[in-house]
Amino acid sequence: MNAKTALDLAEEIGKREPEMIEMRRDFHRHAELSMQEHRTAEVIAERLSAAGLEVRTGICGTGVVGVLHGDQPGKTVMYRADIDALPILENKDRPYASINEEAMHACGHDGHTAISLTLADILSKRRSELPGTLVFLYQPAEETMSGAQPMIEAGVMENPHVDSVLGLHLINQFPTGQVVVRPGPGFAAADFLRIEVRGKGGHGAMPHLSVDPITVAAHIIVGMQDLISREVSALETAVLTMGQIHSGTKDNIIPETAHLQGTLRTFNNDVRVQLLERLGSYVSHIAGAYRAEASLRVAGGIDPVVNDGHVTGLVHKSAVSALGAQNVSEGKPLMGSDDMCYFLKERPGCYYQVGCALPDTKMMPHHHPGFDMDERALSVALRLSLRAVLDAARA
């Protein structure tokens, strides 16, 4: 596209802002849980069809793909948006609060979807100048990390064969207008841990006749943190949180078992492997010291989100030209996880972050019932994404 077209597009983004915000609010009002995004998928499909894209629906349940063929030669670029909400009862102090008491868009995926649909519509009207092919992908179930992999297995990266993948996450921890474009790992690997401690039940008044699994569990919880501080290099990063502990039925009964659940977050695969190996033996040896038995099971995990150096370099240039160098940084990696990692394992790509903090107010974090965003960030994201997909398709 020539300079005049680029200017037209900049003007168009301004014109589109009110509709994009209204679209985000509509998705927000009708939040749907992972794999239940039926209305959301319907609205997406309707809008893509109206824009003249080739639309595939019902991919792995509620996944949608819209393909836009440009008339000019170029690469095939996938632009991924996640569409699901969280099982949170929203604080009802805003007019667009979720009417579904079981679900709330507390992570910004409503915004991701509205940005992507606006992008698809703008570019569909400029097909004659558009290089390459754009694949707009709407992924269910990011929050349960179970939507991306099945969509890949269903063939969404073929026919057309995708060359590179882009996507963004709105983040309300840094200011609107700022974006983070970071090569290498940007979101952490997550592993989900299950520990069972097996003791010997009995009367609470006579612990010497029992093996108390609750005491053992307490030592395991406290002791595990020593692995992070004593066995991981101070220059590496790891976080271990035990989020659940279940045991016992009554104040004077020593139970037979205790169950713990937690998560481990890392960036470096060597650290991840080291900790997972050590945690298993550490847990069983601590239990052994108390005459109990304990075992650790890893109930699933997800790799870090790793941005490709070359594609990220391109997006960085796109961001600087779209937003100005002063608004683009490499930021810091986030300890959260995202199943965007599966797309980025298949093809080179870049997952960038767009700040959406409201100025001068105390923003509630992602996944909080009071989460919100500065909706002006949608236009910032659109401006960057528009430039980035065109640059990637031309590359």
Which residue of 107, 148, 238, 311 would you call a contact of Zn ion, by CB under 5 A?
107
Span near Zn ion by CB under 5 A; candidates 31-39, 99-107, 297-305, 374-382: 99-107
- Minimal distance, residue 107 CB to Zn ion, in Å: 3
Span near Zn ion by CB under 5 A; candidates 25-33, 106-114, 203-211, 217-225: 106-114
Nearest-angstrom CA–CA distance, 335 and 333? 7
Nearer residue to Zn ion within complex by CB, 107 or 193 = 107
Nearer residue to Zn ion within complex by CB, 40 or 133 = 40
Nearest of 88, 179, 98, 105 to residue 142 by alpha carbon: 105
Active-site annotation, residues: 84, 142
- Minimal distance, residue 215 CB to Zn ion, in Å: 35
Span near Zn ion by CB under 5 A; candidates 10-18, 102-110, 275-283, 313-321: 102-110
- Minimal distance, residue 158 CB to Zn ion, in Å: 26
Sign (positive or negative) of CA dihedral 122, 128, 132, 138: positive
Tokens (6 digits) for 343: 């797309």
3-class SS of residue 262: strand
Nearer residue to Zn ion within complex by CB, 121 or 338 = 338
- Considering the rule CB under 5 A, would residue 170 count as an interface residue with Zn ion? no
Nearest-angstrom CA–CA distance, 67 and 49? 10
Size of the site for Zn ion (CB under 5 A): 1
Nearer residue to Zn ion within complex by CB, 107 or 258 = 107
The vertex-142 CA angle with 315 and 304, nearest 5°, equals 55
The vertex-90 CA angle with 84 and 94, nearest 5°, equals 110
Nearer residue to Zn ion within complex by CB, 87 or 207 = 87
- Minimal distance, residue 82 CB to Zn ion, in Å: 6
Only one residue has tokens 């910004």, namely 108
Nearest-angstrom CA–CA distance, 319 and 78? 18
Span near Zn ion by CB under 5 A; candidates 105-113, 128-136, 263-271, 348-356: 105-113
Quickly list DSSP for 106-134: -SSHHHHHHHHHHHHHHHHTTGGG-EEEE
Which residue blocks in 30-108 are alpha helix, DSSP H? 38-50
- Minimal distance, residue 345 CB to Zn ion, in Å: 18
Residues of the shown chain interacting with Zn ion in the complex, contacts defined by CB under 5 A: 107
